[in-house]
Structures are given as structure tokens and as C-alpha cells.
Amino acid sequence: MGQLYQRMEERLKLEGYSYRTQKTYLQYMRQFAALLQERPAAVSSF
């Protein structure tokens, strides 16, 4: 999930989201991936 996580983090920074919002979104992204119990490649197709 490393590359997907980094891309999302960079995008949130570019869009000007606050630090706390970035961390919240990234946390939910990790939880979503864990819920699906899939590899990151499967999650990134969304």
C-alpha cells in the first residue's frame, strides 16, 4: 500500500487539505483496504 498511500498523501497536500484532514483520510484509506482484505493493487482500481 506504500505507493498508493504516498500518492494519496501528495495529492491531499497539493489540494491544500489541512494536516489533520490528510491524516484522517489516509487512516480511513488504510482501514478500507484492511476491510477488503485485498492487495493494494486491487484497491487502487477504484
From first to last of its 46 residues, what are the pLDDT tens digits of the chain?
Answer: 688 889 999 999 999 999 999 999 999 998 888 887 766 666 666 5
Q: State residue 11's pLDDT score.
A: 96
36 touches 43 (CB < 8 A) = yes
29 touches 5 (CB < 8 A) = yes
Consecutive H or E run containing 45: none
